Structure 1
């Protein structure tokens, strides 16, 4: 995307109560000028306060649509929730950490967090790309409380470590984790692809019905609901070509599942 309009928010101060940025997405602000941001009141708890209490804003260029917008947020946004939530176009770059629900329900466009992201990053995501250069906490790419529909499209790339229940209820899309992952990755998943390049604590794929989970590092403990099908050389899965030998498991048999769990054989010799 060639950005024609750049919106830059430089943080002045943080708030002990999280700011909510779900209204400040390219879809909504592509026609805004600096004066519009300066009069905008951002939700904080059950009240609203001037955005300019927390950020200075610069606007350069023009946009015919949200596709033409690049938003750059500079500062520690560890107390800024819903960054990029429900966006369908454009680009957001966060040069710092992000709070809860970053990229939640996004449908398109791209978000890059040059830092860590809190829980529920990319939850119920339907399209677009979310890249996090640091770590994220639990429920990345998952469903939300009381729902059974998780991420269904798009791509999440996590360069650090992931917390528990990564991709819970995943029904599509792709999640790539360059670091390690906590328990129950892919629990309840029905479709989609999860690749974890580091180590996994235990129990990936619990109650999964379909989809693929790849573990390139060492798996601490495998669920009993998976049966070994065989060993494969350089398998290609969902467009990803894996290098080396992989042990393929099918499960979770507790749900008559046909999900596929692939373990790097070299790192998991104890499971051969």
Structure 2
């Protein structure tokens, strides 16, 4: 096992781009490789050693044997874990844009909040965010139609707008509340929200499941109420309690399903 620890020396007002510093590319690097590495910052590149002191311990024969630990204020470090396929990344603060974007394997733990586009277009792996996440988590990028297709995102705090936009697979679990339009344009997969949702889940969805265990303030008109189900099994997972089942979005001839906890949404019965 190889542990690579990045201890921050100073921050930058312009974001550092860490997309090249993933287990896939650095599993065989030594300290001297990091000392001479030039990290992209805006339109230029600067020595990584200006910003981080890197410690390397142990050996690895593959990315799977690498643990990256990032310490400091990472609020201006973006693309952490971008396109990684294996290994482990631990970020011990809040992080900037695109954390875990396009990752296909391995795991990322963020001990803080994450900016927009966390887990964008993931195809595998596990992304866990201990705090809150902003807009477009697990979503597609601007102008694309396919968001997250596989993998697992767990958010212990709250989620911003358009969570799982264009979701085509995988699972997103929000343990807090969620802003507007979770699951918009959703085609497949599971979104579970344990807290409250502001309004309009599943707009234009065609398939997949959204489970809301808190209160929904406002629904879209394009969903038909089907029945109340006790202890349903949804996307292979067992849920306890009564859930109101809705299907839609009929505006897209959709066959998606939204499940609302009946005890929190009696106004919809």
Compute the displacement of 1:239 (Å): 2.5
**What's the C-alpha RMSD, in Å, of the aligned pairs?**
0.4
Question: What aligned pairs does 1:77-226 form with structure 2 within 5 A after superposition?
Answer: 77-226=74-223
Distance 2:189 2:170 in 1: 5
Return 5+ residue gaps in structure 2 as ranges. Answer: none
Distance 1:81 1:145 in 2: 17
Whether 1:27 and 2:24 are equivalent positions in the alignment is yes
Distance 2:67 2:195 in 1: 32
4+ residue runs of structure 1 moved beyond 2 angstroms?
none
Distance 2:263 2:237 in 1: 19
Compute the displacement of 1:58 (Å): 0.3
SS of equivalent residue, structure 1 residue 173: strand
User: What TM-score, normalized by structure 2, do the two folds share?
Assistant: 1.00
Distance 1:14 1:264 in 2: 44
Compute the displacement of 1:75 (Å): 1.1
User: What TM-score, normalized by structure 1, do the two folds share?
Assistant: 0.98
Compute the displacement of 1:256 (Å): 0.3
Distance 2:30 2:19 in 1: 18
For residues 123-148 of structure 1, the C-alpha deviation after alignment (integer angstroms, 9 at most, x for no partner) is: 00000000000000000000000100
SS of equivalent residue, structure 1 residue 260: strand
For residues 164-203 of structure 1, the C-alpha deviation after alignment (integer angstroms, 9 at most, x for no partner) is: 0000000000000000000000000000000000000000
Distance 2:241 2:73 in 1: 41
Distance 1:186 1:197 in 2: 15
Compute the displacement of 1:240 (Å): 1.9
Compute the displacement of 1:241 (Å): 1.2
Return 5+ residue gaps in structure 1 as ranges. Answer: none
For residues 233-255 of structure 1, the C-alpha deviation after alignment (integer angstroms, 9 at most, x for no partner) is: 01011232111000000000000
User: What residue number does 1:254 align with?
Assistant: 251
Compute the displacement of 1:216 (Å): 0.2
Distance 2:150 2:73 in 1: 28
User: What residue number does 2:260 align with?
Assistant: 263
SS of equivalent residue, structure 1 residue 156: strand
Distance 1:265 1:142 in 2: 28
Q: What is the aligned counterpart of 1:232 among 223, 229, 249?
A: 229
